[in-house]
Structure 1
Amino acid sequence: MIGPQAQESFEQIFFAAARTRLVTDPLHACEITAAPGEHARGEHAVLLTISSMQFRLLLLLHIKDDEATRAYYLGGAQGALADAFMEFGNLCCGAMNQHLLEHFQDLGMSTPYALDSQCLQHLRELKPDYVKSYALTIDGAVQLGATLCVCTHSPLDFVTARDQLSAAHESAGELELF
């Protein structure tokens, strides 16, 4: 069971991380809106996880391999969009991990990996306590999707203060050594 304050905290942590780490320039806007149901945009999904003794968080970032997305994340360079995008996804997940470390000391983070977006239909098999999908528009042109899924092992509730989220925005995402 996940409490309402924890649900809101996970969402706010994701919003702060997406707005600062999924953009190629800090001046670019990242608009985030709730998406109905298990909404997925694009044929690729990048999966990242953060795990603790109390919960497992899965973040699926959905991307379309279209001209606008390729231009934004590859900047005209050749290569696989999913590979380039995984770096941004990893930065976003790392920022979320930093926020969550304020509440949970035993976190582990996976390396990102690409999946077909059809995997979203199998999330229910994990019996999640919280699933929410979002539509993201970056710099007015790039359309992404995101699904936040949290599975808990015990009752979970915590509160993240909004001022803590804005303070982390100032961090440059330095490498952490474990």
Structure 2
Amino acid sequence: MITQSAKEGFDFLLMQALRNSMVSSDDACDISILPDSTDIHESRMVVLTVSSYLFRLMVMFYFTPDEQTKAHFARLNHVARTDMDEQAFLDAIAECGNLCCGILNRDLGRFFPHIGMSTPNVIDRRCAEYLQMLNCGHVQHFEIGIDQAPRFHVTLCVSDYAEIDFSVSEEEAGSSTGELELF
């Protein structure tokens, strides 16, 4: 079972990670929680998993490979839109998801030992129709509004294997992307 405090903690940490990975420093960002997925219409998604012994969470970044979306990720990666072919676009959006989940993974590591993260997978959006089969203890949908970009949607699904309870205060939440750790 996932407590309400833990659900709020997962949501808060993901929203912080989204702000630090999907938005350039000169853009404003507004993230809101959606009651369900009926407003999510993008055609594809990038899926990443963060897991521990106590839970598995999946973060799904929905996107449509249109000109406005490609322009946003070109701007985010400081390249000209004309220099970004289809593979470079998919790599850019997958890396953005990877950065976001890396931040989330690091922040969750303060509460849970032994956390690992998957590599990004780009799949069809229709796969999200089967989320209920995962019996998740927490599912939350987000809408992200960014200046000069289309609205993006993200879904968080947390499957629990034990009781999960933690709380995050805004004061202790990290706001930077951190530095590379070498082992």
What is the alpha-carbon distance in structure 2 between the residues aligned to residue 4 and residue 124 of structure 1?
20
What is the alpha-carbon distance in structure 1 between the residues aligned to residue 32 and residue 148 of structure 2?
13
What is the alpha-carbon distance in structure 1 between the residues aligned to residue 149 and residue 84 of structure 2?
20
1:1-80 pair list within 5 angstroms: 1-23=1-23, 25-39=24-38, 40-74=40-74, 75-76=80-81, 77-80=83-86
3-state SS of 1:162 partner: coil
What is the alpha-carbon distance in structure 2 between the residues aligned to residue 50 and residue 161 of structure 1?
21
Q: CA RMSD in A?
A: 1.5
Asked if 1:114 is matched to 2:114, the reply is no
What is the alpha-carbon distance in structure 2 between the residues aligned to residue 41 and residue 99 of structure 1?
30
What is the alpha-carbon distance in structure 2 between the residues aligned to residue 82 and residue 17 of structure 1?
20
Contact 1:52/1:108, CA 8 A, preserved across alignment: yes
Q: 1:126 to 1:42 in 2, by over 3 A?
A: same
Q: Quote the sequence identity (%).
A: 35
Structure 2 spans left out of the alignment, 5+ residues: 75-79
Q: Deviations over 1:103-145 (max 9, x none)?
A: 0111000011101011111111111000011111122532111
1:75-86 pair list within 5 angstroms: 75-76=80-81, 77-80=83-86, 81-86=89-94
Provide TM-score, normalisation by structure 1: 0.91
Which residue in the other structure is 1:94 paired with?
A: 102
3-state SS of 1:142 partner: coil
What is the alpha-carbon distance in structure 1 between the residues aligned to residue 5 and residue 41 of structure 2?
28
Provide TM-score, normalisation by structure 2: 0.89
Q: Report the Cα offset of residue 33 of structure 1.
A: 1.2
Q: How many residues align?
A: 174
Structure 1 spans left out of the alignment, 5+ residues: none
